[in-house]
Amino acid sequence: MSRRRVAYYYDPDVGAYTFGYNQYLKPHRVKMTHDLVSAYGMLDKMHVLKPARCSAETMTSFHTDEYVQFLSRVTPETFSKLSFDGTRFLVGEDNPPFEGVFEFSAISAGGSIAASQRLNCGAADIAINWAGGLHHAKKAEASGFCYINDIVLGILELLRQVPRVLYIDIDCHHGDGVEEAFYTTDRVMTCSFHKYGAYFPGTGTQEDTGRGLGKGYSVNVPLKDGISDEAFRSVFEPVISKIMEVYRPSAVVLQCGADSLAGDKLGCFNLTMHGHARCVQFLRQQNVPLVLLGGGGYTVKNVARAWTYETACALGIEDTIDPLMPYNEYFDWFAPRFRLEVVSSNMDDLNVLDGSLDDVRQKALEQLSELAAAPSVGMHDVPRDSLGTHLYRARDRGNARDPLDMQLAQHMRYVDDLADSQDDSDSDESTDEEEQPKPARRRPRRMSIVTNEYLEAPTAKRQFFKTGIDIDKLFKVAEEKENVVLG
- The per-residue pLDDT for 71 is 94
What single DSSP character describes residue 379? Answer: -
Residue numbers annotated as active site: 136
Q: Which of these, 293, 242, 317, lies nearest to 46 by C-alpha position?
A: 317
Q: How far is CA 205 from the centre of its chain?
A: 18
402 in a known ligand binding site: no
- The per-residue pLDDT for 373 is 79
- The per-residue pLDDT for 88 is 81
- The per-residue pLDDT for 389 is 42
- The per-residue pLDDT for 435 is 44
d(CA 198, CA 217): 25
Contact by Cβ (8 Å): 409, 391: no
d(CA 228, CA 223): 11
CA 365-371-377 angle, 5° bins: 135
d(CA 190, CA 204): 11
Q: Is the torsion defined by CA of 251, 287, 122, 1 positive or negative?
A: positive
- The per-residue pLDDT for 436 is 44
Q: For the chain, give the mean pLDDT.
A: 86
- The per-residue pLDDT for 446 is 80
171 in a known ligand binding site: yes
Q: Cβ neighbours of residue 302 under 8 Å, at least 6 residues apart?
A: 258, 261, 263, 264, 273, 342
DSSP states along 151-177: HHHHHHHHTTT-S-EEEEE-SSS--HH
- The per-residue pLDDT for 465 is 42
199 in a known ligand binding site: no
E-only strand ranges, 108-259: 126-129, 165-169, 188-195, 218-223, 251-255
10 in a known ligand binding site: no
Each residue's pLDDT tens digit, 317-355: 999 999 999 999 999 999 999 999 999 999 999 999 998
Ranges of residues in the chain with a pLDDT under 70 are 1-2, 85-87, 380-444, 456-487
Contact by Cβ (8 Å): 211, 184: yes
Contact by Cβ (8 Å): 213, 185: yes
Q: Which fold has domain 6-369?
A: Arginase; Chain A (3.40.800)
Q: Which of these, 445, 26, 24, lies nearest to 266 by C-alpha position?
A: 24
Q: Is the torsion defined by CA of 274, 276, 279, 281 positive or negative?
A: negative
Strand partners, 290: 126, 252
- The per-residue pLDDT for 321 is 95
**C-alpha distances out from residue 384 to 57, 155, 387, Å:** 11, 15, 9
Residues carrying CATH 3.40.800.20, the chain:
6-369
- The per-residue pLDDT for 457 is 57
Q: Is the torsion defined by CA of 141, 144, 148, 153 positive or negative?
A: negative
Q: Cβ neighbours of residue 354 under 8 Å, at least 6 residues apart?
A: 224
- The per-residue pLDDT for 253 is 99
